[in-house]
Structure 1
Amino acid sequence: MNLLILTCLFPLLGWFILAFSRGRLAENSAALIGVGSVGLSALTAAWVILQFNLAPPPGGVYTQFLWQWMSVGGFTPSFTLYLDGLSVTMLGVVTGVGFLIHLFASWYMRGEAGYSRFFAYTNLFIFSMLLLVLGDNLLMLYFGWEGVGLCSYLLIGFYYSHRANGNAALKAFIVTRIGDVFMAIGLFILFLHLGTLNIQELMLLAPQKYVEGDSWLWIATLMLLGGAVGKSAQLPLQTWLADAMAGPTPVSALIHAATMVTAGVYLIARTHGLFILTPEILQLVGVVGAVTLVLAGFAALVQTDIKRILAYSTMSQIGYMFLALGVGAWDAAIFHLMTHAFFKALLFLASGAVINACHHEQNIFKMGGLWKKLPLAYASFIVGGAALAALPLITAGFYSKDEILWEAFASGHSGLLYAGLAGAFLTSLYTFRLIFIAFHGEQQTEAHAGHGVAHWLPLGTLIVLSTFIGALITPPLAGVLPQSVGHAGGEAKHSLEIASGAIALAGIILAALLFLGRRQLVNTIAASAPGRLLSAWWFAAWGFDWLYERIFIRPYLLATRLLAHDPIDGAIGVIPRLTRAGHALLSRSETGQVRGYALSLVGGAVLLLAIVLLV
């Protein structure tokens, strides 16, 4: 396990070589470095995980001290890697799924300008995410947290020549920075009261320092939740995620499946001891997740862009994870995080294959009939879509999502349970709406299937992992996270599984009735006045961008226009103007005439003597 540091160093080295090559490397060389570095990281991670499982370290925890970061008074954070069951799970997801995405990207990005620049950014992204999940203290976690935020900005705006892409990158950066400021405030409060940011020390000291419901801890956990909702695109900071689709499709897969949006879930799970002491904030976590998953489901139901549909589905699935955290189903949240990484990476990569085959067309209504032309992409969408819809027994998503629903029921949170079931129905409906419209019906555009091992190997691997086989991978979370309340199960659990499975199947059947064939019924509903209103409202994702523009952006722009002629700034500006005037006046005395200089000296001396005598 002492090789753990190499999982971080390989992507960092890849970034260094690619970044300083200044685009001079050939595509094959750039792909070899970019994909190879993450591949070596994944292989090292696999070895570390194998050793961790075969010969568990004492107490189930392995730490690797690298160096002392700083020492300021009593503040002595270090760069130390911390490996337990939770970070082992995240390590496997980040490096394993990240490698498959990199491999697919080496095929997808061929011929694009900035090929080596793309892999430099993605390597740095993987490095930052590994720092986030392996750091033993919140400052090191925050360092990686900000790193993934920077890389998301660079990757979302990768096609920077288009203004809309730059705006989308800027929006993601600013919105997530709002959450990051909240998180930083939370860290300040924790350090002020507990004197450390080491995560394990915080978990031990918090119950000793704070009583349940303590106001300072309440504020601190609320601030941490603010950071989590920003990175994980939950209400009210969810508006950036759909616009992030401006980046290349492998970037969407990387952000949505293996890295950035799962960071908020990891943060809350890692600091669970703090949230347990503030049950009101923990309940708020569940409510935020439940509301987000339902609102995102309705928004996905009317989108026409294949990637935006998947973006809203990510928002919804992260909502399930927040719901699980809110009811204390810690292991179910991380289990769903893992299975979601499998099938969401599969769906995004398959959407990239479809977009590439259809000459960069992303409107599903301009596709149609693709199942014959793109059999691998179609199989990927069928398996990935079934896992997203939690089709019973055969998909990975069924086992993780039903665990969340059962925990919500067993903990007595009936409202959250109903929200989860409603979200399950919406998920089946919008997922198979996408599949039926894009892959069935009349063909609207010519499509050419992709070829090569970098194309089919990632898709094939993720297809297998998205089935029940992926659910057989059990995260080693025993002793790391608190025991959930609903593990006993029984007839009630089987009844809930049958109900949720029936709901998922009902959504698929309704999608077939509405979106296969001529779609006369759904067109009639959409053409009606209520249908047009709801479609426009949901298409705009419930109007949050419109609302925020009027509440925050326009007043801010108005303030900038008013302060452009600020009288205080004008008064301060008098000083440099007087200085410039004095300079201009005195420079005229530089005549070069010796008599004039001598006269000025004599006059100055007489003036000084007069002042002395008078005083």
Structure 2
Amino acid sequence: MYQIIVLLPLVGFLIAGLGGHAIGAKASEYITSSFLVIAAFLSWVGFFTFDAAEPIASISLLHWMQSGGLDVSWALKIDRLTLVMLVVVNTVSALVHIYSIGYMHHDPHRPRFFAYLSLFTFAMLMLVTADNLVQMFFGWEGVGLASYLLIGFWYKKPSANAAAMKAFVVNRVGDFGFLLGIFGVFAIFQSVNLDTIFAGAAAVAATMGEGAEAGAAAEGAVDMGAVVLDFAGYSLTMGGAITCVCLLLFLGAMGKSAQIGLHTWLPDAMEGPTPVSALIHAATMVTAGVFMLARMSPVFELSHTALTVVTVVGATTALFAATIGLVQTDIKRVIAYSTCSQLGYMFVALGVGAYSVAIFHLFTHAFFKALLFLGAGSVIHAVSDEQDMRRMGGLRKHIPITYWTMVIGTLALTGFPFTAGYFSKDGVIEAAFVGHNAFAMYGWGMTVIAALLTSFYSWRLIFMTFHGKPRASADVMHHVHESPWVMTIPLFILAFGALFAGMLFEHEFIGEAYEHFWGTALFTGAENHILHDMHEVAFGVAIIPTVMMALGFALAYWFYIANPAMPKRQAETHRGLYKFFLNKWYFDELYNVLFVRSAKWLGRTLWKRGDMGIIDRYGPDGVSGRVLDVTNRVVKLQTGYLYHYAFAMLIGVAALVTWMMIGGAL
């Protein structure tokens, strides 16, 4: 069954990609979408029938490579974490495929689009089912390639090409760190197989818990004082090496999951079709980093320093992205920065050791964020491809299905009681409050403030888009219409998940059934009691996120319904802060000065002075040029007149006689 789940998207990609012109656009749409629906159905079957008490299954598909001590197979690791990701990826991808049948109806290149969607899904499935880090890296790079193809799908738009290239280049920075982290893991544990790595991590944990002397007596224990890495004269102990490796792995996660510093590609990814935005931001590419850290939790549990860094970066990202979302006017960019902020929440949970809480938020977030993106696509479809919220308004009565489903998504995102986000997002905040690392309270403070900002910009989107007077032209408003059923049915399904996914699965993910549900899929150290502690917080602490949610709603209502002139007045009053947020903290401008311009200057200098000035002038081109110069001058002597040749002969004879006379005298 699991082989079918993984390979069906690949088969769909091959059929639509290689035979799309032969079978036509309709057949490509229906075949790829049907395969994803089957894969999603089988994923849910596996999710509900899986018994975490049974031994973890590893299904070997083929032997991949062997070089020295490196032995890699293509195998599927099936445990609860894998199944959660299979459900998220395949469910959202199937709904995006179905939605795209309506959204991309007029596009002439639909077979290529659906082939790319299926390739994206296959690469993500390769990542989440990986039995070893090399296979995980293969899927990691696969989603990077597919995202490049999808973001730049409308390749005739210069902005789409630039956004695709930006996503590809920025992710290579993080991917290089991930690759170095894999090298480090292999150097420490002499394997890239996950089970072997986790067994080695357990031995290290035993050494740390029992002391070096007691640990050395245990089979497979590692001396924490021993030098395990020696590179270029620098030696690292086991503790230092693991911290270094964890930070490198986290660098890879920062790129894929758009954490502050490596986030700049994410908003520009909105240049792709809206279904692509839903797929990238809800279930696939951006969640890869969160999944990887959760998968490697046995290793990260050995480094409190690395977990602290994860907490700081995640908390900072949660607030940073939320501040930018306050002032964006593009409906898709507001939701994109919301994704960036919510990913920061997930990393805060990972940083304080609440791995299951992070995955729970990943699970619920997939439903309401995909719902918001697809709802935004329905709005854009209704208003003739307009994305600027300042040119919308008054759409509530014209597209009621889209309106109410987006309200449900907003309620879940902001953490309205008993919606999906209420259980998972509030769980992250409570976990940060009881966390024990040095920056846990920093994480709590940032996520509480971000909860207020999230509520404000989310309701701002709803009020600007659907309420008030219409700001679009009369011609646009005349053609506003609800999306077809092929686009609204996915909205209903996702709305159900946004309402009830938290309520239905909280008990298993983070409640009393935690151990039975997860088994050994997620690792927590012996001293990690965060799940117990977070359920014991005082009522005042537990209610704070809900208070922030209500306050954000009230502020948004006051600004955009009660006093519509207020936002402009505040922007003029606090112009500096407004411009700072509007220009995204000037990260793009800073990177342009530090990296883009300097790289262009260096390339231009090497081209003009190095290539043209030195290599071309004095290298092979220069030598050949001088030979041509000499031969061109010699050719001029070939005049065809006898007296010219006689004169040249006389000069030669005179030169020879002169040389013999002088030489004889010497």
Structure 1 length normalisation: TM-score?
0.90
Alignment of 1:490-529 (within 5 A): 492-528=537-573
Q: 1:536 aligns with which of 579, 588, 601?
A: 579
Is 1:552 the counterpart of 2:580 in the alignment? no
Is 1:401 the counterpart of 2:425 in the alignment? yes
For residue 568 of structure 1, report the CA deviation from its aligned partner.
7.5
Counterpart for residue 21 of structure 1: 19
Q: 1:487 aligns with which of 509, 514, 532?
A: 532
For residue 289 of structure 1, report the CA deviation from its aligned partner.
0.6
Q: Give the Cα separation in 1 of the matches to 2:493 and 2:249.
A: 35
Q: Give the Cα separation in 2 of the matches to 1:57 and 1:158.
A: 45
- SS of residue in 2 equivalent to 1:67: strand
Q: Give the Cα separation in 1 of the matches to 2:238 and 2:412.
A: 39
8 Å contact kept, 1:433–1:515 = yes
> Letter of the aligned partner of 1:305 in structure 2?
D
Shift of the 517–151 alpha-carbon distance from structure 1 to 2, 3 Å rule, reads same
Counterpart for residue 366 of structure 2: 341
Counterpart for residue 597 of structure 1: none
**Relative to structure 2, which stretch is displaced further, 406-415 or 99-108?**
406-415
Q: 2:605 aligns with which of 546, 562, 585?
A: 562
- SS of residue in 1 equivalent to 2:192: coil
Counterpart for residue 471 of structure 1: 503
For residue 14 of structure 1, report the CA deviation from its aligned partner.
0.6
Is 1:425 the counterpart of 2:449 in the alignment? no
Shift of the 415–213 alpha-carbon distance from structure 1 to 2, 3 Å rule, reads farther
> Letter of the aligned partner of 2:600 in structure 1?
L
Q: Give the Cα separation in 2 of the matches to 1:219 and 1:185.
A: 10
Q: 2:620 aligns with which of 573, 576, 594?
A: 576
Q: 2:465 aligns with which of 427, 434, 438?
A: 438
Q: 2:494 aligns with which of 462, 482, 506?
A: 462
Shift of the 252–493 alpha-carbon distance from structure 1 to 2, 3 Å rule, reads farther
Q: 1:389 aligns with which of 400, 405, 414?
A: 414
> Letter of the aligned partner of 1:482 in structure 2?
F
Counterpart for residue 664 of structure 2: none
Shift of the 148–585 alpha-carbon distance from structure 1 to 2, 3 Å rule, reads same
8 Å contact kept, 2:423–2:502 = no
Counterpart for residue 255 of structure 1: 280
Q: Give the Cα separation in 1 of the matches to 2:190 and 2:551.
A: 54
8 Å contact kept, 1:23–1:114 = no
Q: Give the Cα separation in 2 of the matches to 1:392 and 1:210.
A: 50
Task: Structure 1: give runs of 5+ residues left out of the alignment.
Answer: 589-615
8 Å contact kept, 2:37–2:94 = yes
- SS of residue in 2 equivalent to 1:238: coil
> Letter of the aligned partner of 2:518 in structure 1?
L
Q: Give the Cα separation in 2 of the matches to 1:468 and 1:502.
A: 21
Alignment of 1:317-396 (within 5 A): 317-393=342-418, 395-396=419-420
For residue 518 of structure 1, report the CA deviation from its aligned partner.
4.5
For residue 34 of structure 1, report the CA deviation from its aligned partner.
1.9
Superposed CA RMSD in Å reads 2.2
**Relative to structure 2, which stretch is displaced further, 270-279 or 423-432?**
270-279
Q: Give the Cα separation in 2 of the matches to 1:174 and 1:575.
A: 33
> Letter of the aligned partner of 2:35 in structure 1?
S
> Letter of the aligned partner of 1:399 in structure 2?
F
8 Å contact kept, 1:368–1:438 = yes
Q: Give the Cα separation in 2 of the matches to 1:205 and 1:49.
A: 29
Q: Give the Cα separation in 2 of the matches to 1:23 and 1:430.
A: 44
What whole-Å deviation, never above 9, does each CA across 1:108-136 have from its counterpart, x for those lacking one?
A: 11011211110000000000000000011
- SS of residue in 1 equivalent to 2:61: strand
Q: 1:11 aligns with which of 9, 12, 15?
A: 9
Q: 2:143 aligns with which of 124, 128, 148?
A: 148
Q: Give the Cα separation in 1 of the matches to 2:549 and 2:371.
A: 20
8 Å contact kept, 2:14–2:115 = yes
Is 1:224 the counterpart of 2:249 in the alignment? yes
For residue 497 of structure 1, report the CA deviation from its aligned partner.
2.4
Task: Structure 2: give runs of 5+ residues left out of the alignment.
Answer: 205-220, 225-236, 510-516, 635-666
Shift of the 491–68 alpha-carbon distance from structure 1 to 2, 3 Å rule, reads closer
Identity %: 39
Counterpart for residue 602 of structure 1: none
> Letter of the aligned partner of 1:505 in structure 2?
A
- SS of residue in 1 equivalent to 2:416: coil
8 Å contact kept, 1:213–1:279 = no
8 Å contact kept, 2:401–2:482 = no
Shift of the 79–305 alpha-carbon distance from structure 1 to 2, 3 Å rule, reads same
8 Å contact kept, 2:185–2:192 = yes
- SS of residue in 2 equivalent to 1:303: coil
Alignment of 1:188-203 (within 5 A): 188-203=183-198
- SS of residue in 1 equivalent to 2:608: coil
8 Å contact kept, 1:406–1:493 = no
8 Å contact kept, 2:378–2:483 = no
**Relative to structure 2, which stretch is displaced further, 498-507 or 418-427?**
498-507
Alignment of 1:64-83 (within 5 A): 64-83=59-78
For residue 368 of structure 1, report the CA deviation from its aligned partner.
0.4
Q: Give the Cα separation in 2 of the matches to 1:272 and 1:469.
A: 24
8 Å contact kept, 2:330–2:389 = yes
Q: Which structure is larger by alpha-carbon Rg, 1 or 2?
A: 2
- SS of residue in 1 equivalent to 2:550: helix
Shift of the 188–492 alpha-carbon distance from structure 1 to 2, 3 Å rule, reads closer
Q: Give the Cα separation in 1 of the matches to 2:289 and 2:196.
A: 21
8 Å contact kept, 2:310–2:348 = yes
Q: Give the Cα separation in 2 of the matches to 1:66 and 1:525.
A: 60
Structure 2 length normalisation: TM-score?
0.84
Count of matched residue positions in the alignment of Structure 1 and Structure 2? 581
Q: Give the Cα separation in 1 of the matches to 2:372 and 2:137.
A: 30
Q: Give the Cα separation in 2 of the matches to 1:32 and 1:490.
A: 46
